[in-house]
Amino acid sequence: MKIEVLRIGQRVIRDDRVTTHVALVARAFGASKIYMNEVDPEIENTIKRMNKTWGGEFEVEFFEDWKKVLKSKIEEYKIVHLTMYGEKIDDVAKEIRKNQNILIVVGAEKVPRTIYEKSDYNVSVSNQPHSEISALAIVLDRLHKGKQFDMKFDNSDRTIIPTKKGKKVVSK
């Protein structure tokens, strides 16, 4: 299953930190790429450093018009829009997992109506206001059924060894 993330919008008052965290969660929980705009391009360097240090080949791609990204994916991908107004993830996760290519749309501010209409799935993790970071993590967890915790990230400079207490990091 190939999962990519489309990040739409950016609230200036929330800065680039939230979008950076959306990218980090996407990377750590098994997505292969994130599309974003209206953000500090330094986010891409942060992700490159994460890939170098912790492994993996997660990609960042900047776009001018989210409609073009959506249009380029709509034939080949199932579009999953995260919204607190959608169907419960637990009710649709099994059906979504049947697809080879998934594009998850994560909004920052009010998402245009077109996204709701073009999406194959409008999915919620809660029908209450919440963070798009947590929503993405929960949806990726449900889609991977927890297996993202066993993923191996190739070409890492460091690896964390799980321990009951303390920290164990192996440098290569």
Residues of each annotated binding site? 82, 107-111, 125-132
* Residues 6+ positions from 48 with CB-CB distance below 8 Å: none
Q: Could you tell me if 84 and 115 are in contact, meaning their C-beta atoms sit under 8 angstroms apart?
A: no
Report d(CA 85, CA 128) in Å as an integer. Answer: 9
Alpha-carbon distance of 112 to 124, in angstroms, equals 17
- Residue 169's φ and ψ, nearest 5 degrees, are -120, 125
Q: Annotated binding residues for S-adenosyl-L-methionine, as ranges?
A: 82, 107-111, 125-132
